[in-house]
């Protein structure tokens, strides 16, 4: 039996293929096992190929190789004494997703507060290049401005001891350029300025993950 090799992690079953019409979720081992271990589980595994499926167009993942059905997973795990069980993996994934959701909520709440604070902020006309040069810190959430400024998208937060700027690129084809008060290499951006505030700076650190702008 040729076993699907995916990683050097502890032995476990991983989802390899989903057949929406007949077999459901199909699982493969993530690493090679001994011949004796293969003998133990041979009755639960089948070497699949595309022709084995009713409708190959309704398959997700890789339809090739040795796999077992979800129904047989517990028995395979028992025979191979797998500690990283599918059930344990699911629980860990649920816990991870819960943590990610909590972090996302914290960021969303911080962003909502930032937008409220800057809603009525002043909007003086400036050149972005000069503002960046004078800034002590420039945050670029997710490198959005660095990667998408040519397409008129992305946001920046500029920090110095006197002011905080919130720059929203406004250069897409369907944007209203008359709103722009910041000169850029493109159509321009909308810029809001408030006096420096430590609390706002902390909110910006949250929403940007403290990711610094990597452009010039």
pLDDT at 216: 75
Residue partners of 212: CB distance under 8 A and separation at least 6: 137, 138, 139, 140
pLDDT at 3: 43
Over 125-176, what HEC string results? CEEHHHHHHHCCEEECHHHHHHHHHHHCCCEEEEECCCEEEEEEECCCCCCC
Both 149 and 203 in one domain: the answer is yes
Q: Is residue 80 part of a domain?
A: yes
Both 109 and 203 in one domain: the answer is yes
Q: How far apart are CA 216 and CA 204, in angstroms?
A: 21
Q: Is residue 185 part of a domain?
A: yes
Both 148 and 172 in one domain: the answer is yes
pLDDT at 7: 52
Q: Is the pTM of this model over 0.85?
A: no
SS3 category, 27: strand
Q: Is residue 216 part of a domain?
A: no
Both 63 and 118 in one domain: the answer is no
Q: Is residue 53 part of a domain?
A: yes
Both 126 and 201 in one domain: the answer is yes
Q: How far apart are CA 137 and CA 212, in angstroms?
A: 7
Both 161 and 73 in one domain: the answer is no
Both 144 and 188 in one domain: the answer is yes
Q: Is residue 214 part of a domain?
A: no
pLDDT 10s digits, 107-118 = 999 999 999 999
Which parts of the chain register pLDDT below 50? Answer: 1-6
Both 73 and 138 in one domain: the answer is no
Question: Which domain does 117 fall in, by range?
Answer: 97-208
Place of tokens 């089948």: 46
pLDDT at 150: 92
Q: Is residue 215 part of a domain?
A: no
pLDDT at 14: 95
């Amino acid at each position: 039996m040729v076993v699907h090799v995916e990683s050097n992690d502890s032995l476990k079953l991983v989802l390899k293929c989903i057949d929406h019409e007949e077999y459901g979720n199909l699982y493969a081992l993530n690493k090679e096992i001994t011949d004796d271990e293969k003998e133990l589980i041979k009755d639960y595994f089948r070497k699949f190929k595309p022709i084995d499926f009713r409708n190959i167009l309704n398959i997700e993942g890789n339809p090739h190789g040795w796999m077992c059905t979800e129904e047989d997973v517990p028995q395979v795990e028992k025979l191979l004494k797998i500690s990283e069980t599918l059930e344990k993996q699911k629980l860990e994934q649920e816990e991870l997703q819960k943590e990610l959701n909590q972090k996302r909520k914290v960021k969303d709440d911080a962003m909502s507060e930032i937008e409220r604070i800057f809603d009525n902020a002043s909007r003086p006309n400036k050149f972005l290049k000069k503002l960046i040069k004078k800034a002590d810190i420039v945050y670029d959430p997710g490198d959005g401005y660095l990667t998408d400024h040519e397409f008129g998208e992305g946001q920046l937060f500029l920090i110095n001891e006197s002011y905080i700027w919130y720059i929203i690129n406004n250069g897409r084809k369907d944007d209203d350029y008359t709103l722009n008060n910041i000169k850029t290499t493109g159509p321009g951006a909308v810029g809001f300025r408030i006096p420096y505030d430590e609390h706002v700076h902390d909110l910006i650190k949250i929403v940007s993950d403290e990711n610094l702008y990597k452009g010039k």
